[in-house]
Structure 1
Amino acid sequence: MSTKNDWSRFVVRINIRAPRSRIYEAWATSSGMEWWFLRTCEYTDAGGRLLEPDIFAVKGTSYKFLWHGYPDETFEFGEIMEANGRDLFRFRFGKAGTCTVRILLAGDEQIVELEQGEIPLDELSKMQYHVGCKTGWTFYLTNLKSLLEGGIDLRNKDINLQDMLNA
């Protein structure tokens, strides 16, 4: 058995009892992303126009992400690399690599699978982007499930509470 870790990528998966269309909307619209993941999500089309909150981002859309629990100086810019309108959403996640979200069917449940790849292999990136992002995605996918199945938002939205798992 090999114990060698592939620091260039990871996959996290969670089952969610919700319509596939609702899960996809949670990723592809700024209102969806702000519902479970971000404080602010700005999707901008190729012409530089801000998309309305319920308009789906498509390939070539750029974004700006800001999180609860962090000041405005903590943000991420990137681009949507693939978006099929149903079950695949892929974006460049700044220096942290790429994120590919797949919505798969298993029985009567949807499986949300997030793969973060192309993670740089220097020591700082291993900790920040492999360990840190994997921890973050684990929480946020849990929050997506919580909201879709039960309506409870688990995020810390108080900027005064620092170093929290849920921010």
Structure 2
Amino acid sequence: MEEKKKLDWSTFTVNIPIDQPEEEIMDYWLSQEKLEKWFLKLAEFTSSEGNKRGETERIQPGDSYKWQWYGWPESVEEHGELLKPELGEFLRFVFGKAGNVGVRIVKENGQTILRLVQENIPTDEESRMNFYTGCKTGWTFYMLNLKSIIQGGPDLRNKRSELQMD
């Protein structure tokens, strides 16, 4: 009988195949302008020297961010910092109290796969639901939306303010 593996609530991985060049996929993560096309309503970045980055300027490790989402009141903001990417990653950031996120592109069986790993997630009961389950569900949706946008499909986000997500 196979032993059941215990679920590790401190980390998860989301993978999605995207049939586009790696550079193009990475570009959608590395500027305010591109992040707002598929992920965020507002993605402001400030350099470590305190200068606000331009909308098309490439973000850098050491930058801090302020993010807002469609479907949520403007009072719901996430603040964090971009970290130095680890081996194989093109982006790494502190995701508020929900841990750290690393993003990379891998090739498997000739397929380009966008891989996101969220780790160092607190493991108390509330964090399991809000961060492990909630973030994994959210990243799955937003990465699917990125695939739709980058491959010429529709933006799947709810942009109607009267339809709040909370």
Same fold (TM over 0.5): yes
Query: Could you list the per-position Cα deviations for residues 76-124 of structure 1 after superposition, in whole angstroms to 9, with x for gaps in the alignment?
Result: 000110259x952100000000000011123554210000000001111
8 Å contact kept, 2:64–2:79: yes
Please state how far the C-alpha of 1:37 moved relative to its aligned partner.
Answer: 0.1
Say yes or no: does 1:2 pair with 2:11: no
For residues 118 and 64 of structure 2, what CA distance do their matches in structure 1 show? 18
- TM-score normalised to the size of structure 2? 0.92
What corresponds to 2:90 in structure 1?
88
| TM-score, normalised relative to structure 1 | 0.91
**Match among 99, 102, 106 for residue 100 of structure 1:** 102
Matched residues, percent identical?
A: 42
Deviation at 1:18, TM superposition (A): 1.1
CA contact (8 A) 2:11 2:117 kept: yes
The separation in 1 between residues aligned to 2:91 and 2:150, in whole angstroms, is: 18
Specify the SS of the correspondent of 2:40: coil
Mapped to 2, the partners of 1:117 and 1:162 lie a distance apart of 28
* Structure-2 residue corresponding to 1:79: 81
2:66 equivalent in structure 1: 64
- For 2:162, the aligned partner's letter is N
Aligned-partner Cα distance in 1 for 2:85–2:47: 13
Partner of 1:139: 141
Tell me whether 61-70 or 1-10 shows the greater mean CA deviation.
Answer: 1-10
Counterparts of 1:28-47 in structure 2, within 5 Å, are 28-47=30-49
Give the letter for the 1:105 counterpart: K
Cα pair 1:18 1:109 within 8 Å, conserved: no
| Secondary structure of the structure 2 residue equivalent to 1:64 | strand
Distance 1:89 1:65, change over 3 A: same
Mind listing any 5+ residue stretches in structure 1 that lack a counterpart?
none
- State the partner residue of 1:13: 15
Q: Could you give the per-residue CA deviations for residues 44-66 of structure 1, whole angstroms, max 9, x where no partner exists?
A: 10111111111111110111110
Q: Report the 3-state secondary structure (helix = DSSP H, G, I; strand = E; otherwise coil) of the residue aligned with 2:84.
A: strand
1:151 aligned to which of 150, 153, 156: 153
Inter-CA distance 66–106: structure 2 relative to 1 (3 Å threshold): same
Taking the aligned partners of 1:115 and 1:159, their CA distance within structure 2 comes to: 30
| Number of positions where the alignment pairs a residue of Structure 1 with one of Structure 2 | 163
Deviations 1:30-53 (A, max 9, x none): 111101000000011011111111
